[in-house]
A and B are shown apart, each in its own frame.
Chain A
Amino acid sequence: MAESSAASIAHHGHPDVTKRDFLKLVTGATAGIGAAAAAWSFIDYMNPSKDVLALSAIDVDLTPIVVGQGITVLWQGKPIFVRHRTDQEIKEAEDVQLSQLIEPQPDSARVKPGHAPWIILIGICTHLGCVPLGNKPTDPRGDWGGWFCPCHGSQYDTSGRVRHGPAPANLALPPYAFESDTKIKIG
């Protein structure tokens, strides 16, 4: 039947794969493909379901938010600050010298072009995750007129940049886009 492996290597330069081994290989490989397909069903089962994905993006209507006012909306379980800045607040944000910032970032990089009045931030303090105060008119806003975190005293300016620690970084920006001048889509 089949020549010995040693003889076969001498002859062909590679060991013979007998018919039986090839058959087993094909069978094993096919079984492996089936097992992988089945396993994927279980893995994908744990991925976010369609109803969760449907809420992965939300629309926010900006019309009710007057100048100087800020609201908080929930997006993917996180608080999102949407503030309609006054001209004073915009000016204060733009005039800051970058060297004075703990995490230097110009205000222009934190708003959408042509929409400077709107600052949209993830309202989670970059220190240890508390939700900073500053959206309600009665809230303390810290020395820079932005947000104040009551947990450990971090303070953010009107662009959401950290000005006083212990927070190490500016408030994060969620992915968002202006669908019109009065509507944004977050996510």
Chain B
Amino acid sequence: MRVLYPIIVAALLAGAVATPATAQEAPTPPAQHWSFDGPFGSLDIAAAQRGFQVYTEICAVCHSLEYLHYRDLAGIGLTADQIKAIAAAVTVPQGLDDNGEPKDGPATPADQFKVPYPLPNPLQQGVTHTNEKADRAAHNGALPPDLSLIVNARPGHADYIYAVLTGFADPPPDMKMQEGMNYDKYFPGHQIAMPPPLHEDQVTYADGTKATVDQMAHDVVTFLAWAANPEMVERKQIGWRWVLFFLIMAGLTYAVKRKVWADVH
């Protein structure tokens, strides 16, 4: 009996942790296999680079990535020269000219990713955020969210983003769609302001991979997962070292403990 109660408590705790708290307004997104899943997860560099291409050519028109800088792209395996070229091809606000007027210019690796509808930040202090009013005006009142943290900011994480991107479909016959909204199987409430962003062969992948909707969704989610957690690979590598260290230390200290306590027991 003495042993049973703690086991019951432990089981309850496990159940408590596993119980999802939020109300279900859409089905649970199906689990996908991601390169970064689990304690042994790593980053599929090729997928991340393809995903960056998808972001740049399709998503970046509406969605900012405001917490990333071009120099961060070294984290998905791009070289310094490639990054310089990528940045230089983008025109971003570059402070004030000699008359004190805001001016534009080619970006450098040190610059933040271009924001489609930026708030004026002429002295380039801190992070340039989205001009919400301008953004909404351009999108029928809807605000395309920033994607820097989107994978972390939604329950279901990578699986959810993938499900929404691939979940566009015709609405069921009994469903009344609001004007301008699109039906998505996995978006809570099933009505999303974003039109289906991905279409077959919309981008031509540099490495020749076929750009199906599923492929592009998979790649862009890999890229966005990296964007939200750029430290992930290093974190897990360091993590294994510390786990090993504490296992060894636990063993060593236990051995010392047994020796010290030998005369008491």
Q: Which residues of A contact B (CB under 8 A)?
A: 19-20, 23-24, 26-27, 30-31, 34, 50-51, 54-55, 59
Contacts and interface: CB of A to CB of B under 8 A. Distances in A.
Given A20-B259, A51-B110, A54-B110, A34 B69 contact: no
A2 to B, nearest CB: 13
Nearest to B72: A50
Contact of B252 (A19, A26, A50, A54): A26
B24 interface: no
17 contacts: A19-B259, A20-B259, A23-B252, A23-B255, A23-B256, A24-B256, A26-B252, A27-B252, A27-B253, A27-B256, A30-B245, A30-B252, A34-B249, A50-B71, A51-B110, A54-B69, A54-B110
Nearest to A31: B249
B71 A54 contact: yes
Contacts of B253: 27
A100 to B, nearest CB: 38
A23 B260 CA distance: 11
A87 B71 CA distance: 41
Contacts of A54: 69, 71, 109-110
Contacts, number: 30
Given A23-B256, A34-B249, A59-B108, 9 more contacts: A19-B259, A23-B252, A23-B255, A27-B255, A30-B252, A50-B71, A51-B69, A51-B110, A54-B71
A31 B245 CA distance: 9
A58 B71 CA distance: 14
Nearest to B260: A20
A27 B259 CA distance: 13
Contacts of B108: 59
Interface of B: 69, 71, 108-110, 245, 248-249, 252-253, 255-256, 259
Q: Which of B110, B248, B256 has the most CB of A within 10 A?
A: B110
Nearest to A34: B245
Nearest to B110: A54
Contacts of B69: 51, 54
A20 B249 CA distance: 16
A30 B248 CA distance: 9
A16 B110 CA distance: 60
A23 B259 contact: yes
A55 B255 contact: no
Given A51-B69, A54-B71, A55-B110, A30 B256 contact: no
A31 B252 CA distance: 10
B106 to A, nearest CB: 11
Contacts of B245: 30, 34
A59 B88 CA distance: 13
A114 B253 CA distance: 67
A51 B110 CA distance: 7
B169 to A, nearest CB: 42
A26 B249 CA distance: 10
B108 to A, nearest CB: 8
- 5 closest Cβ pairs, A-B complex: A54-B110, A27-B252, A20-B259, A54-B71, A27-B256
Contacts of A20: 256, 259
Nearest to A64: B98
Contacts of A51: 69, 110
A52 to B, nearest CB: 10
Contacts of B248: 30
Contacts of B110: 51, 54-55
A55 B110 CA distance: 7
Contacts of A30: 245, 248-249, 252
Contacts of A31: 249
A20 to B, nearest CB: 5
A24 B108 CA distance: 54
A69 B71 CA distance: 33
Contacts of B71: 50, 54
A18 to B, nearest CB: 10
B22 to A, nearest CB: 35
Contacts of A23: 252, 255-256, 259
A27 B109 contact: no
